[in-house]
Amino acid sequence: MKDKFIEQQAQKLTDGLINRRKFMTSVLATGLTVPAALSLATKAEAAAPKKGGTFRYGVGHGSTTDTLDSGTSENHFTLVNTYNISNHLTHIDSDGKLKGDL
């Protein structure tokens, strides 16, 4: 009975129907310890996708001569950055034909 209630509360937290405070209050009322309740809350929140945020990525290479000038691209770092802010005028499609990107 208690396990089912805790699972239901975790699902509500995942679905965004209750906040973390309400989850902790209800789960602690069942006699669960604080560390165990925090562990359950963290797992439930990690499973729930959240809109927004910051996407960070790491790229090797990079040097003091890097610029945003695609004509002077020296390494993979500048190539990745250039593709993040611009595109090509053309590309080759799956049939091997030249197509415009813009």
pLDDT in tens, 44-53: 666 666 678 8
| Residues 43, 66 within the same domain | no
The torsion angles phi and psi of 55, rounded to 5 degrees, stand at -95, 125
Range of the domain at 29: 2-47
Looking up tokens 């209800």 gives: 26
d(CA 102, CA 89): 6
Q: What total of structural domains would you count in the chain?
A: 2
CB 79 within 8 A of CB 69: no
Asked if residues 38 and 32 have their Cβ atoms less than 8 Å apart, the reply is: no
pTM score, two decimals? 0.38
The pair of structure tokens assigned to 71 is 């004509």
Q: Return the bridge partners of 99, or none.
A: 91
Residues 35 and 61 in one domain: no
Distance CA 14, CA 46 (A): 8
Radius of gyration of the chain (CA): 25
Query: What is the percent of the chain with per-residue pLDDT over 90, rounded to a whole number?
Result: 5
Give pLDDT, residue 1.
64
Asked whether residue 58 falls in the same domain as residue 102, the answer is yes
Q: What is the mean pLDDT of residues 34-38?
A: 75
More confident residue, 24 or 50: 24
pLDDT tens column, 3-21: 888 788 888 888 888 888 8
Do 89 and 63 lie in one domain? The reply is yes
